[in-house]
Structures are given as C-alpha cells and as structure tokens.
Structure 1
Amino acid sequence: MTVNIDEKYVVSFLKKLLDTPSPTGYTHHIIDMIREEAESLGFPVTFNEKGGAIISMEGENDSYTVGLSGHVDTLGAMVRSITPHGTLKITSLGGFAMSSIENEYCIIHTRGGKTYTGTILTQHPSVHVYADARDFKRSEEHMEVRIDELVSSREDVEGLGIRTGDYISFDARAVVTDSGYIKSRHLDDKASVAALFGLLESAKREGWKPKQNVKLLISNYEEVGHGAAYIPSDIAELIAVDMGCMGEDLTCKETDVSICAKDSSGPYDYHMTGKLIELCEAQGIEHAVDIYPFYGSDASAALRGGSNIRAALIGPGVHASHSMERTHTRAVIGTARLLCAYVQG
C-alpha cells in the first residue's frame, strides 16, 4: 500500500518543534507538546520514568512490536557559574564545537520559571580591544553569556533569579525556503520526529494500520547517550530515526534518506538494513547508504543497555550537523514514506 504524506503538515509541525526550546535535560515543555499532538491524532501516549514519550499504534497482528525512535532533546548549555562582572560561564550539554555557538542568541531558563535573553561570546569578543580576538581559543572556559539585563555584578545577576544549574537554549533560527530547504539548529533530531508524526498523521487521515504493533519512542536524553537505554520490553526490533551526515567519504545529500550500515557502536542488523534499502529502491525514495565512525544513536543506547532487539538507523540527510544545520523537505518526507512502507510490510 502506498500512502500519502502531508508535506504541509510535516513542515508546519517541524517548525513548531524547532521553535520550542528543548536542550537535553530540559524537555518537559516539548514532551507536553508531543503528547498533545499525538493524542489529537488519536494515538495513546505513556511515559517512561525519564520523561520520554511512548506513542502506541495498534497493528493487524498484536503478537509482535516494532519500535521507532526519534529524540527531541537538543544541544544546549547550562550555567556553570556567575562571574564577578555579571556574565555567565557555561558548561555544554551534548557534543559541539564552541566556535559553532559563538555570537549566537540564547535564552536562560531559571528554575523559578523566568526567562532572560542573552548572547554567547568569547571573553575577547572585540577586535578593537583585544589583539588576540581573532586567534583567541574557542574553548568552554573562554566562552560566556552576556545577559540582556542591566547587570554588572554577580549580585545583580543573582537578583534576577539566575543560578548555577539553570538551562541555556540556543536560538534555532528556523527558516523554510521556497526551494524546499529547511535550515535551523536542532534538525538533529527534530526533522526525524516530524517525519514520525508524518507517519501518524497519514495513518489517521487515510485509516491504515501497521502490520504489527508499533511503538514510537520520543526520547529526551539522546544527546548525552542514554535516550533509549531503556525501551519497552515488547519491542523486538528498533529503527532509530536520526539525522544522516554529509561530508568527506560520505554519499548522503540533503535530499536523501540516510541508511546507516555501521556507526561507532558497530554494524546495524543486516536483514533490517537490507529491507530498508529494498523498500527505497521499490518506492523510488532517494537514499544513500553510509558509515558514520563518529556517531551513535538511540538504537546504540538500547543495544548497549542490554535490549534483546535487532536494530537499524535511518534519517533525513543533514548538512553541518551540530552547527547551523540544513536539510530538504524531500529528505524528511522520504523518511516518513520509508517508515510507512516498513511498518506496513
């Protein structure tokens, strides 16, 4: 059965995801949004103890369960300390180059519920003042947040309610171009989550069921390595849906669905990977098969956590991962089409 994916719905929901701050560890707002959207489509939602969402689809055969995972947690930072002159030292959440967040706007989220805007800068930001401004090492200890409030001391900042341990989210700056490109921070992995919801919306609108039960795990700690370390025990096979990489020695493009044969955790299941390739070829889905030596996924976490499963990894091709990322609607819709074909067969 060939299904129709509503591109307008998928892109609209992706934009909504991208505009919702969710640095890893601070995901309760976006998980609430996930729950509301899934329930509006008629699919029940439960939660694991870490706060990740589990969306259930009833299949024609309820003796077997396929898992699909995507993560809504993103890169971000946390307040490490407040400096005597009223700026914030940071500690990173997830793995990214400090140069990729220099000069970016951000939001500080206090535990008291207040938010403040700021800008991430080096300690030597001006070429008119610092002779080494261009060469100053972009490392965590040299970065700070300039807060958009009238503060000039630690006491001023503390008076705002900002404390060590408060979360900092980066401005996603999401844009959808007329040519179909989607450029934004955090396409890893919100583009994949939007593709998963494209599957759910299609099943609701067109009234189809998967062959087996399907559980969608929307994880919230993937960027720090344990998002899917626990998965429901009835899942027999898991497809991690996460962004595909582009670059040297890789064939993936921004219009492709990436099929990862092997990453840093080792090879993915031979038969699942082969089936995904066959479905792409049969359905005319643009795709690439690659190996990612510096990559791990929710499926990696599940396997390392002791889950007795088979696993595979796919996702939309994304350029400049963990920086200012870009993909194309063709890759996101292609990912949704591939997932639909897999769970139907």
Structure 2
Amino acid sequence: MENNYLTETLEKLVGIPSPSGFTEKAIRFVSEELQRYGYRPWITRKGACVVSLGGEGSPLVLNAHVDTLGAMVKSLKSNGRIEFTCIGGYTMFSVEGENCLIHTKTGRVLTGTIQSTSPSVHVFEDAGRKERKLQNMEIRVDEIVKSKEDLKKLGIEAGDFISIDPRFAITATGFIKCRHLDDKAGVAVMLDLARRVKEEKLDIKRRVYLFFSAYEEVGHGASAGIPEEAEEIISIDMGAVGDTLESSEYAVSICAKDSNGPYDSRVVRALVETARANSVDYTVDIYPFYGSDTGVSLRAGYDVRFGLLGPGVEASHAYERTHIRALRNSSDLISHYVSTSLV
C-alpha cells in the first residue's frame, strides 16, 4: 500500500516557516498531529516537543529537528533594503534570487527577495564577479520603500525573523525537491512511526520516545529535555549525498562517523543488521562536514548509546532533493528497529 502520509505530512511541515528560534507553529503542528493519534505530548521549557509511544524495555529516544535555516533582520539600510544575518550555515550562492518572508514582531508578514547588491548585469559591471558574501547581499522588500524610515513604518526592525521560500515540489518520478528537507523529512519519518504504532498496531519492543528539537541548526537543539531514563539516542536527520560518499537519494543512510567522530558501533551494527534482515535499501557512510543533535546530547552529558540515520538528501542546505523511496526506507528501518531488541 502506498504511504502517502509521508509526503503529505512533509509538504505541510515545509509550508510552516520555522527558522531556529521561530519554531512555535511547527512544534504546535507536531504536537497536534501526535494528539490526533491519541498520544499525550508535552512541550519543554526550551520549546521542544516530546512524546512517549509506549513499549517496554531499554528506553530509546528518536530525535529530529523542526528548525531550519533562515535569517534575521540585522539593520535597515538607507536605500530601503534590509541587511540580514544568517541563521544556520549556508552559502550566499544557495539563496541568491530566492523569495522570502519577513516576520515582524507585531505579526505582520511581508514578502521580499534575497539578492546581491549588484543584481543586474545590465546595470552593474561587477554583477557577475562580485563576491557572494553576506556583506554584499540584501533583501528587497515588496513594498514601496525608499528609505530606512519607510521600512520602520512597515514595522520592520532588527531581530525580525526571515524565512526562505521552500518551493516544495514532487515530480511524477517520485523526486521531492524543496528547501528544509533537513530536517523536516526526518520529522515526517518520526510522525509516520507514531502513526504506524497506532494504525498498523506496530509491536514495539523498546520503550520509545520521540523528541522534536527546535535549535539544531544553531548547535544546541537536543542539549536539554531528553527523558532522563534514555539509554540510547538516534537522530533521524538527512543523509549527505555527493562526492565519494555511498549515500543515495533512494536509500536510508546510516552514519558511521561525522565531523565529531565515530557513532556507537553497537548501534551502527544493529541498524545494519535490521536493514539487511528486512530488505531495507540502505547505505553506510561518513559525513566529513556534519554534526547532529546526537552529538549535542553527548556534549551535554547524556550517558547513552548513540546513532544517526536518515533519508539521502542531495544539495543539503541549498535547494535540496530526495526521493520518496528514501523516506520509505527510513520509515521502514526505524519501524523494524523499534520492533527488535538487537542492542
């Protein structure tokens, strides 16, 4: 049977702006979705959503993050443009020409476009060669504004959040193209697990918690609020695709090592054994420039086994792409994993 829940939920999630620090609506969506299936989630003081799926045995926490890349108003320029600062790590090449939303503190939402300060080849001699760095970028607001004062009259000020248009699309061939697959694809996989426990009567062999963090992109998402009884934490986050890596847009990627070091070999082996035993399409890989919420939890002092898996995503932190098969393989692997007690 086709699992449309994954793609339908993912589309809803990416349609909710949620740069790090601006995640209340996304967390509310997650909480309400869990309640719809009869769960009783709670929200931590830091703004994460946590829920128990039930089960008995060694407590396992699965983690994904609802927060995404974005920006914030840094200052208002005399020409009526906005100077911005980044939330999360991305290149200016990856956002140039992208539409965005400016979320004022009064609740007003304005549209705009991220562009170079020399955007036109017909006007600026350096349009092609100008270095794409933050100092050379600005946001053009879709209002009649010619000065800093005009921007102020719209209610725009420093500290307002800026979200980037995700441009969600699914092709007839099963590819999913949009921004913020990192990590709304992982959030959709975790919500699908919650659905399967209820609708498909999935028999879980562990006590399983889901932890949806809100500050992963800025480095401290899962640093607090993890259930104290946790013995194992696995992050469900995107698998990096490209260069000489084995990961693919069609498979679930099991990470053996990232920039912080190796993942727990017991967990990696158990995930591989589970994938093989259940004919799940998987890869094992090393991500050279990557960190996850699992690493944040370890640095915060949690004494746990730890792992990382997720759907393969190409062009991470840009206009990303994966395939529905990668989502299904990720969902299948984690569903089979919680139904066993290999570790």
Question: Do they fold alike, i.e. is TM over 0.5?
Answer: yes
Of 218, 221, 226 in structure 2, the residue corresponding to residue 224 of structure 1 is 218
Q: Which residue of structure 2 aligns with residue 10 of structure 1?
A: 6
Alignment pair present for 1:298 and 2:297: no
Query: 1:127-142, aligned counterparts within 5 Å?
Result: 127-142=121-136
Alignment pair present for 1:38 and 2:37: no
Of 20, 24, 36 in structure 2, the residue corresponding to residue 28 of structure 1 is 24
SS in 2 for 1:318: strand
Q: Which residue of structure 1 aligns with residue 200 of structure 2?
A: 206
Q: How far apart are the structure 2 equivalents of 1:244 and 1:286? A: 13
SS in 1 for 2:17: coil
Q: How far apart are the structure 2 equivalents of 1:326 and 1:293? A: 20
Q: How far apart are the structure 1 equivalents of 2:66 and 2:210? A: 12
Deviations 1:206-255 (A, max 9, x none): 22342121110100100011111122211110110000011112011100
Alignment RMSD, CA only? 1.0
Q: How far apart are the structure 1 equivalents of 2:10 and 2:101? A: 20
- After TM superposition, give the deviation of residue 178 of structure 1 in Å: 1.3
Q: Which residue of structure 2 aligns with residue 318 of structure 1?
A: 313
Alignment pair present for 1:87 and 2:81: yes
Q: Which residue of structure 2 aligns with residue 274 of structure 1?
A: 269
Letter in 1 for 2:337: Y
Q: Which residue of structure 2 aligns with residue 309 of structure 1?
A: 304
SS in 1 for 2:239: coil
Query: 1:144-163, aligned counterparts within 5 Å?
Result: 144-163=138-157
SS in 2 for 1:99: coil
Q: Which segments of 5 or more consecutive residues in structure 2 lack a partner in the other structure?
A: none
Q: How far apart are the structure 1 equivalents of 2:248 and 2:180? A: 18
Q: Which segments of 5 or more consecutive residues in structure 1 lack a partner in the other structure?
A: none
Runs of 4 or more off by more than 6 Å in structure 1? none
Deviations 1:184-220 (A, max 9, x none): 0000000111111111111111223421211101001
Q: Which residue of structure 2 aligns with residue 245 of structure 1?
A: 240
Does the CA contact (< 8 Å) of 1:58 and 1:209 recur in 2?
no
Alignment pair present for 1:337 and 2:338: no
Question: Kindly, what percent of the aligned residue pairs are identical?
Answer: 46
- After TM superposition, give the deviation of residue 293 of structure 1 in Å: 1.6
SS in 2 for 1:235: coil
- After TM superposition, give the deviation of residue 181 of structure 1 in Å: 0.6
Q: How far apart are the structure 1 equivalents of 2:277 and 2:314? A: 26
Deviations 1:85-110 (A, max 9, x none): 11100100000001100000000001
Q: How far apart are the structure 1 equivalents of 2:292 and 2:229? A: 20
Q: TM-score, normalised by structure 1?
A: 0.97
Q: Which residue of structure 2 aligns with residue 289 of structure 1?
A: 284
- After TM superposition, give the deviation of residue 283 of structure 1 in Å: 1.1
